Amino acid sequence: MTLLAGELYLLREKGRDQVEVYDVISYHLLCCLTVPDIYSDTVVDMISCEHYRCVYIGDDIGECVHRLDAQGAFTLWTVNDKPQGLSVNAAHNVIVACRVVRKIKEFSSHGDLLREIALPNDVNWPWHVIQTHSGQFIVCHGGPDDPVHRVCVMSADGRHIAHSHGGQRGSDTGQYKVPCHLAVDDYEFVFVADFINRRVTLLSPTLQYVRQVVSPDQLKWKPRRMCLDTERRLLYVAVNEWTAGRVVMISVM
C-alpha cells in the first residue's frame, strides 16, 4: 500500500489485477493493474516515488524489486538477497532492508546497486529502514524468536546507534512484539506498526515515546504495512487476519 500523485495503490492477493488504484478523496476504484511474473503472496512491501512517478514492489521469492511507472510500464531488477521493507530517500533512491543477511542496500531507480551497509551484530531481522534527511537510518527489527524488538536511529555508515526505543520483547508501553513497519512525517516523528501487539506507536525524532496512535481495539487485526498522507494528516494501516484484509484510516492531526 502506498500513495502516488493523489492516488492510493493497494496490492491484493490475486492472480491478476493485483494492484488496485483508488482516488484519495472519494476512494473510488480508478483502475486495476496486473504485474507480470509476480505472485502477491511473495510480495513484502510497496513504496512510491513522486520524483520518478513510479511504484516499487519488493518480491521475496524472486529476490527482486518490480518497478511500475505512471504510464503502466513494468520492469524489474535483482536485489541478490531477500528484500523486506522498502523506502525512498531524499536522493530518490530505493532503500531495501535485507533481513536474512542483515544489510541495508541502496539502489538507483533503475536498479543500480549504489552501496550496501552491514548492520551491527545486535540488530537482527531488520523489517524496514527509512533514511532521514540528515543521512541517518531508522530501523525497526526483531524476528518472532528474537529476544530484542526495538526501533533504532543509526549513523549513516550503520556502525553506531544514536537512539533506540524498545528492548526486551513484550506488550508493555515501551515494548514491541515484531515492530514490522515504519512511517515518518515531515518533522521526523516516527510511527511504528507493532504486529503482534496490534497497535501503532508514535515516537519523537529521538525515539522518545509520545503516545499510542492506534489501539488494538481500532485495528482488530494485525498491522502489516502503513503509509502516511502528510498533506491530509492521515495514516493508512493495512491489517490482515488469515486470508482477510482491510485498510484502516486514522487522522493523526
Note the residue count of the chain. 253
Q: Which of residues 12 and 236 earns the better pLDDT score?
A: 236
Reported as a single tens digit per residue, the pLDDT across 89-142 is 999 999 999 999 999 999 999 999 999 999 998 899 999 999 999 999 999 999
Helix (H) or strand (E) holding 115: strand 113-118
Q: Rounded to 5 degrees, what are φ and ψ at 137?
A: -115, 135
Half-sphere exposure of 81 (CA within 13 A, CB side): 16
pLDDT at 17: 82
C-alpha cell at 203: 515516537
- The answer, yes or no, to whether residue 39 has pLDDT greater than 70, is no
Complete domains list, the chain, with CATH: 119-253 (2.120.10.30)
Reported as a single tens digit per residue, the pLDDT across 206-251 is 999 999 999 999 888 999 999 999 989 999 999 987 667 889 999 9
Q: Rounded to 5 degrees, what are φ and ψ at 219?
A: -85, -40
If you average pLDDT over residues 70-95, what whole number do you get?
93
CA distance 79 to 98: 9
Contacts of 157 (CB under 8 A, 6+ apart): 117
- The answer, yes or no, to whether residue 14 has pLDDT greater than 80, is no
3-state SS class at 138? strand
pLDDT at 78: 96
What's the pLDDT band for 41 if we cut at 50, 70, 90?
Answer: low
- Percent residues over pLDDT 90 in the chain: 78
Mean pLDDT taken over the chain: 92
pLDDT at 53: 95
CA distance 154 to 135: 9
pLDDT at 40: 58
